[in-house]
Structure 1
Amino acid sequence: MICSLAELGLPDSIIPKEFADGIQILPEDAVPGDSIFPYLDLDDEIIELSITPNRADALSMRGVAHEVAAIYGKSVHFPEKAVTEDSKPASDKISVAIESDKVATYASRVVENVTVQPSPQWLQNLLMNAGIRPINNVVDVTNYVLLYFGQPMHAFDLDKFEESRIVARDARDGEKLVTLDGEERELTAEDIVITVADKPVALAGVMGGASTEIDNNSKNVVLEAAVFDGKSVRKTSSRLNLRSESSSRFEKGVNNDTVLEALDFAAAMLQELANGTVLAGRVQAGSVDTEPVQVSTSLDYVNVRLGTELTFADIEDVFAKLGFGLSGDAEKFTVSVPRRRWDIAIQADLVEEIARIYGYEKLPTTLPEAAGTAGELTKTQALRRKIRTIAEGAGLTEIISYALTTPEKAVEFAVTPSNLTELMWPMTVDRSALRQNMVSGMLDTVAYNVNRKNSNVAIYEIGKVFEQKGNPKEDLPNEINTFAFAISGLVAEKDFQTKATPVDFFYAKGIVEALFDKLELTVDYVATKDLASMHPGRTATIVLDGQTIGFLGQVHPQTAKNYGIPETYVAEINLNAVEAALQPDQPFVEITKFPAVSRDIALLLKAEITHQEVLDAINSAGVKRLVAVKLFDVYGGEKLGAGMKSMAYSLTFQNPNDNLTDEEVAKYMEKITKALTEKVKAEVR
């Protein structure tokens, strides 16, 4: 039978391009009538592994071999390939330089007189079974080494270089590069590029450039093996939507021990499969630490955490299976962790390895012990419940966002930014630092909704932010209970009798005022321009008993544009400070039967006088029967004069034990008028 690989069920993405639309040609030793599967290595045995994000060392065959050997108590055996070097030094052909702190090391080898042709069937089969399309023997060797060592590699056509000097540097804003997929990419200063003659020829850690691509006419090859900054590679691949096997590994980390070994292995394979001549020596810039990491602990520490009674002999057996060095005794022992296991750095990591290899099924089972306690809400729990009730009564919907974010967003809206607390091994750069504010996460949620045509958003969250006053590597951060909300879009939709009502500063402030009214706390609002991500004319800090406990206002238009959201108002409040200020429940006070008396007063003021200044002046009069002040009108016009405005207030007086007389109210108004005249130079209209 004649058929294509697609008809055998292989996906188009891994079929060699020359056979993508046609018949697969088998090796000459294929016997007609035999099963096709042995020739395509489709009858092999499969071990299914689930790789957790912290175990990037297992994204290679050698890494998996170490893991399987430890589990089954076997030894690992890796085939070696010796490089036969020519007498001509590689340094005569190329030189290498690093001009970026995002590149730890960059090593290369030169292989001359290669014959570019299809790879042998076994190599094509191996790559296809791993989900990689075979290209040619040179490119396939680099992909094979990627799978075998976990070390990303790239091959350049040396004859296409404009000069011999290779430089790894940061890209320049606006610089262009056409990648191997034929797309022109515009670069930023956050990207890393490999350059020749100051022109980018590869996007480091992500994809090579088309200008130095290996093709059927290539004769002289430069092999690259390097260690690039994982965060930078992650940002570049995410921004360009250009994910690759190489970028995935650089993001999670590569084995420092085998960078040069992988380079030599690839050169030896090109000798074998492409009849190439390997020039003498590597050309290298920079270096990485290959010394084992020393981590110490004790037998008692291990047994307390696992609830076991392991002996030191058990510990020795576990680390012997893992291939780790061990010295010391039960009181204190030190483990020499090879660089291939960069996920191990602290005592707890050693405990995890012991539990895994010893066997989770062997760990003793115990039931938790807890003394019965009376069911009662703590003060913190009661406050949270009350705030939820108030927030939901105001029409807000509760959300839960990530406590981990980017280093930039972690401090973006922080009133008093502190030291960053960053994860040593984050799963992604986007979730690498503990937040110091909740607003940035809420704006991500607003953007998520707006992008899905839900433009009217009113959300809140009660969670923790993290303040780090000490050394993030040694000290735990302070956890601060925090309430935040964000509103955007319309308060009320337009209908046949009502105009659409957009959210504004006063709507957001009303929610905050309602919150503190229900909590029976008095706060002040102080205009501020100190928060760079907030609108300088529509932002206020919230002050309680002389302490700034949060802020309220409009997100700066440029910040909103960066998030891709419309006009949005936010607030954030420190609940630890609120809880500390709460007063004990007040005894019931009988509602007075005596009526209140209201008086209106209109004031002519300078335009720069704020509502808060007027309130402070009124309160300074010391009228104890004044129970409410309400601003009901603000007017400005030419009739009032340049730089002037009119503000009208309704003042409410009440005596809970008697009726107020007109004479008493008149005295109160006189005192208030005098205070307004003295404090804010007001003129009563």
Structure 2
Amino acid sequence: MFVSTKWLQEYVDLSGVTPEELAKLITKAGIEVEGVNNLSDGIKNVVVGYVMEREQHPEADKLSKCTVDVGEEQPVQIICGAPNVAKGQKVIVAKIGAVLPGNFKIKKAKLRGEVSEGMICSLQELGVEGKVVGKEFSNGIFVLPNDAEVGADALEVLHRDDAVLELGLTPNRADCLNMIGVAYEVAAILDKDVKLPAVATEESGSADFINVSVESKEDAPYYSAKLVKGVKVGPSPLWMQARLMSAGIRPINNIVDITNYILIEYGQPLHAFDNNKLNSKQIIVRHAKSNEKITTLDGEERTLQPHHLVIATEKEAVAIAGVMGGQSTEVDENTVDVLIESAVFKGQTVRQTSKDLGLRSESSARFEKGIDPSRTYSASERAAQLMAELAGGTVVEGTVVANHIVNEAPEVSVSVNKINNVLGTSIDADTVKDIFRRLRLEAKQDGELFTVTVPSRRGDITIEEDLVEEVGRMYGYDHIPATLPTGVASRGQLTVYQAKRRRARQFLQHAGLFEAVTYSLTSNSKVKRFALETGDAKPVRLSLPMSEERSELRFSLVPHLLDAVAYNVARKEENVQLFETGSVFLTLENNELPREEEYLAGALTGAWLQHAWQGEKKAVDFYVVKGVIDGLFNELGLSDKISYVASKKEDLHPGRTASILVNNEEIGFIGQVHPVTQKEWDIKETYVFQLSLAKLFNTEIDDILYNAIPRFPAMNRDMALVVDSTVFAGDILSTIRQAGGKLLKEAIIFDLYEGDKMEAGKKSVAFSLTYFDPERTLTDEEVTKAHQKVLKAVEETHSAQLRG
């Protein structure tokens, strides 16, 4: 919401308060002011000029040579490139020495041999956004009204001597989506009176010009129509155009501008029909027919559905209720009679229609958040008054109304004790009473209990906590003392799960991976990809997604990590190592709520090690990633409980993928992204892993024991075993560790050979075994005996033979 302080001054006295001070006060009261835009900042020496003569530049077809009176003794010559400059115009002139936005200084210059002593300006050159400049001036200079005084300060004439506050409103504060609502807020902060617009309209004729019927009273509890005859459509006065532009709205013509002006002033959306194009004495508020079509004001043909609400005659729909009017009854330069619609439409209905049609407007935004129904009638009266004053119309007596609103003002009670308990203050009852007075909330006091009759403009006040908030923000958050909680003190600490998660994250960071945070929302095409489990799970779809790419809750972390890899690779960052801890959401059939579970996932590509000076280079491969995960399991004390089993999974390379098991229960996977999938993401060879933290951390973790430096020497034995190619080295290693007994301290794989010198279908796997006793020095006989036991176990279990 953009708030002109000059406009706001009409409703509440701002004397003695600068825009910057006002912004701070509003922010302290709970509504963030995101910026203060002083419209005249950085602009100097800009005046009203009169174009006395205009002729073609002798050396340039697109330039004009103008003689301009700027209120001084001698007129000046200005070379102008605008196509719409003409003799007899009042224009904006930046004189020699003038400064325009961006610190652009005007100097005397020569253009194609002709002297130019200034510049005739467009509104954009004064800092006005092009999107809010009227169509007739969007590609040229701005022409001022004929009554503008030559030599006067152009900023004052244009009403640019103003400051605009940008309010960052939360959805509950729809009451401040209009100038009157902001005035109530500012008046409460400053403890000033609110001056509402005076509405006094001369009427003639009778109210039999139209008949209104409402078929859906729930969707349209109030609808009114008022007729203004004999209007002359043309530009609205400059003061109104300036106010609309400061609010971010483009001026169109006086009739349309008046409806937009009331929208910003009252917060009440209006629509103006050309009554003669309407060609009916019947207005029907009804639901659309199936596949009914209407061409809206933006020139687009829209197909409607039965749950959409429309305004119609007995022949056709002429507007989409609360969203946009129809082109067939549009006000244009030939319009003479205007029918003003002022209504209350159900926010949910307008929101659904707006979403379905992909059509949002200033009106629909206000209906969605809720408007003040008490202003609906007065807003149409105010619009009729302005049409009479600014368009020369005659207001027809009476307003045709279909009113089904039940006027029952809700009451909310709160005690002083409740307020102080929540805020941690010692506010007395008199202070609370005074705050309600400033907020113009009618409150009945019974001792320390206040019962507030909530005005219709404050639809956000529904429970006692809302009143506590009102008292707190008006009392001043900076006046609320800082206090420590009372009661039994307890030492804060991480839960066991949180401590394990932090340990895992820190290990991966220390290993060289960067932590990523990706969206929990994904698209339907990605939702089940790389999932650990799907089964009967169905995706959880948002009812109002921001886009189809962010429409469903994810089953896996990997797809968005691959998005991040692709993003980096596309920007020449080829070595990417990422991990993420985050939630996935699974819903089983017949379950209403999704089951949330936390996963840990990673994606690695490019070089893992690269030392140009030493000539070392190691690309990321399966064993690099497995080594990182093994290190993680070792850090968590789970190494003895983890096993890997070759597996096949969708989107992963069939020969380079393994399921990860803890105590024979699958908790995740590791593998290379399938080449076809890599091509889909436009990435090179990439490896991923994903673990269920819930299953991992539910495993009983052995305490980490620290041993003294050994006093006795260890003894090593190496052996190369010939086994079938189908035998997993990890299985052999498990057998060795089981058979080695208490003397076997360590067993590792250090070589694998599959080549021409091996029998077909065989491979050689070499192991290094370390034997050790912390209490004494082992003898060769003891080590040989233990080693023979290992050899016998691998022979019996895996048919392994020592390689000769």
Relative to the length of structure 1, the TM-score reads 0.66
Partner of 1:118: 235
In the alignment of these two chains, the number of paired residues is: 646
TM superposition shift of 1:602: 2.9
TM superposition shift of 1:593: 0.5
- Alpha-carbon displacement from aligned partner over 1:356-375 (angstroms, at most 9, x marks no partner): 21233443456899999999
- Alpha-carbon displacement from aligned partner over 1:285-316 (angstroms, at most 9, x marks no partner): xx999866666654333223433211233323
Matched, 1:148 2:265: yes
Partner of 1:472: none
- Worse-matched range after superposition: 130-139 or 346-355: 346-355
- Alpha-carbon displacement from aligned partner over 1:166-210 (angstroms, at most 9, x marks no partner): 8878999xx99998778x899999x99979999999999887787
Matched, 1:600 2:721: yes
Q: Give the 3-state SS of the residue equivalent to 2:260 in structure 1.
A: helix
Residues 579, 41 of structure 1: alpha-carbon distance in 2 compared, 3 angstrom cutoff: same
- Alpha-carbon displacement from aligned partner over 1:568-587 (angstroms, at most 9, x marks no partner): 73535527953874433313
Kindly indicate whether the alpha-carbon contact (under 8 Å) linking 1:418 and 1:467 is maintained by their aligned counterparts in 2: yes
Matching of residues 12-411 of structure 1 within 5 Å: 13=130, 14-20=132-138, 21-26=140-145, 28=147, 30=148, 36=154, 39-43=157-161, 46=163, 48=165, 50-54=167-171, 55-79=173-197, 86-91=207-212, 115-151=232-268, 214-218=331-335, 223=341, 226=345, 227=347, 245=362, 253-255=369-371, 257=373, 260-261=376-377, 264=380, 268=384, 272=388, 275=393, 281=400, 297-326=414-443, 335=452, 337-338=454-455, 340-341=457-458, 348-364=465-481, 383=500, 386-399=503-516
Q: Give the 3-state SS of the residue equivalent to 2:690 in structure 1.
A: strand
Q: Distance in 2 between the 1:313 and 1:419 partners?
A: 55
Q: Give the 3-state SS of the residue equivalent to 1:458 in structure 2.
A: strand
Residues 454, 147 of structure 1: alpha-carbon distance in 2 compared, 3 angstrom cutoff: farther
Residues 262, 520 of structure 1: alpha-carbon distance in 2 compared, 3 angstrom cutoff: farther
- Alpha-carbon displacement from aligned partner over 1:23-70 (angstroms, at most 9, x marks no partner): 523255x555655555433456x5746434354532321220121122
- Alpha-carbon displacement from aligned partner over 1:331-387 (angstroms, at most 9, x marks no partner): 766655556445556655443321221233443456899999999999778756654
Kindly indicate whether the alpha-carbon contact (under 8 Å) linking 2:164 and 2:246 is maintained by their aligned counterparts in 1: no
- Alpha-carbon displacement from aligned partner over 1:440-486 (angstroms, at most 9, x marks no partner): 775675566456554543233567889999xxxxx9x9998875444
Residues 49, 545 of structure 1: alpha-carbon distance in 2 compared, 3 angstrom cutoff: same
- Worse-matched range after superposition: 536-545 or 588-597: 536-545
Matched, 1:458 2:574: no
Q: Distance in 1 between the 2:524 and 2:434 partners?
A: 45
Aligned partner letter, 1:216: E
Kindly indicate whether the alpha-carbon contact (under 8 Å) linking 2:413 and 2:452 is maintained by their aligned counterparts in 1: yes
Q: Distance in 1 between the 2:532 and 2:440 partners?
A: 46
Residues 97, 159 of structure 1: alpha-carbon distance in 2 compared, 3 angstrom cutoff: farther
Aligned partner letter, 1:360: Y
TM superposition shift of 1:518: 2.7
TM superposition shift of 1:148: 1.8
Q: Alignment partner for residue 707 of structure 2, among 579, 588, 592?
A: 588
Q: Distance in 1 between the 2:715 and 2:238 partners?
A: 99
- Alpha-carbon displacement from aligned partner over 1:508-528 (angstroms, at most 9, x marks no partner): 444322211232213355789
Q: Distance in 2 between the 1:410 and 1:684 partners?
A: 49
Residues 431, 41 of structure 1: alpha-carbon distance in 2 compared, 3 angstrom cutoff: farther
Matching of residues 549-628 of structure 1 within 5 Å: 569=688, 571-574=690-693, 578=697, 581-588=700-707, 593-603=714-724, 605=726, 615=731, 619=735, 622-625=738-741, 628=747
Higher Cα Rg: structure 1 or 2?
A: 2
TM superposition shift of 1:594: 1.5
Residues 152, 528 of structure 1: alpha-carbon distance in 2 compared, 3 angstrom cutoff: farther
Residues 335, 590 of structure 1: alpha-carbon distance in 2 compared, 3 angstrom cutoff: farther
TM superposition shift of 1:11: 1.9
Q: Distance in 1 between the 2:279 and 2:717 partners?
A: 90
Larger RCO (CA within 8 A; separation ≥ 6): 1
Partner of 2:57: none
Residues 368, 640 of structure 1: alpha-carbon distance in 2 compared, 3 angstrom cutoff: same
Relative to the length of structure 2, the TM-score reads 0.58
Partner of 2:18: none
- Worse-matched range after superposition: 434-443 or 115-124: 434-443
Q: Distance in 2 between the 1:150 and 1:546 partners?
A: 65
Q: Give the 3-state SS of the residue equivalent to 1:4 in structure 2.
A: strand
